[in-house]
Amino acid sequence: MLYEGFGVADASNYDSVNNFAQLMWPNGQPRFTDTIHTLATQMEELNKLIWLMLTDSYGLQEDSLKMNYKTLVRMMKYLAPRPGEYERGFFAHTDKPISTLICEDKSGLEIEVNNDQWIKLTNLSPSSFVFIVGDPLKAWSNGRLKPVNHRVMMSGDKDRYSIAAFIIPNEGTIIKAPKELIDEKHPQLFKEFDFMDFFLYAISDPAKHIDSGELLHAYASLSPPVSN
């Protein structure tokens, strides 16, 4: 197996991480729990800061991008490929959560810049995080933010470890562009939608959408566009 991973739901919540740890260590494992909880809390803070930079850069109030969410932290291990090979570790996709932060211990993450032109993110310091715009942020920003197609490719003789924090809104969260981002020059691209409906639609048939950021369009076209 080339890839394995596990996710901890609501990882900035100590009890949630503790419950997860007790599945493997019935007597608890404070070091594991503390480490994951601290990491999740700090990644969540970093994500908040980036959201603030986004709203600020559009001249919006902080609460234009505000919702209740949970942070899912996933730990991943990619085995080194056979000697001399360049192998796929994770298929090309865009992220369905609102946003994602990723850190990796060796390079492997690639992003698509033009159709079929891939760039490997190299020389990231061990303390670097990559911020990935999820599909819902494209709708929120009325098309300004682009969910990047990304994948993991493995080369060399070392295994790769990465950690991702996914921002997943609570049930009932509605995604819609703030009115300041909609005008005659920028008509509303996507009707407001329930995040969880979209998420469930997205994961119901991932094969259909694996290589494209067009899922939102497909989803949105199920319902007629609204005019303001």
Site for ligand AKG, rule CB under 6 A: 76, 90, 95, 102, 104, 109, 150, 152, 162, 164
Alpha-carbon distance of 12 to 101, in angstroms, equals 14
Shortest Å distance, C-beta 47 to ligand AKG: 15
Between residues 145 and 152, which has the closer beta carbon with respect to ligand AKG? 152
Between residues 153 and 189, which has the closer beta carbon with respect to ligand AKG? 153
Q: Would you tell me which residues interact with Fe ion (CB under 5 A)?
A: 95
Alpha-carbon distance of 200 to 163, in angstroms, equals 23
Shortest Å distance, C-beta 210 to ligand AKG: 12
Cα dist. 226→40, 102, 223 in Å? Answer: 38, 35, 9
Cβ-in-10-Å burial (0-12, 13-18, 19+) of 133 comes to buried
Between residues 64 and 78, which has the closer beta carbon with respect to ligand AKG? 78
Shortest Å distance, C-beta 7 to Fe ion: 12
What, of Fe ion, ligand AKG, none, does residue 70 touch, CB below 5 to 8 Å by kind?
Answer: none
Contact 94, 215 (CB under 8 A): yes
Shortest Å distance, C-beta 25 to Fe ion: 29
Helix ranges (H only) for the chain are 14-24, 30-57, 135-140, 195-204, 206-209, 215-220
And the tokens for 74?
Answer: 């996933």
Between residues 204 and 228, which has the closer beta carbon with respect to ligand AKG? 204
In the bound state, the residue with its beta carbon closest to ligand AKG is 162
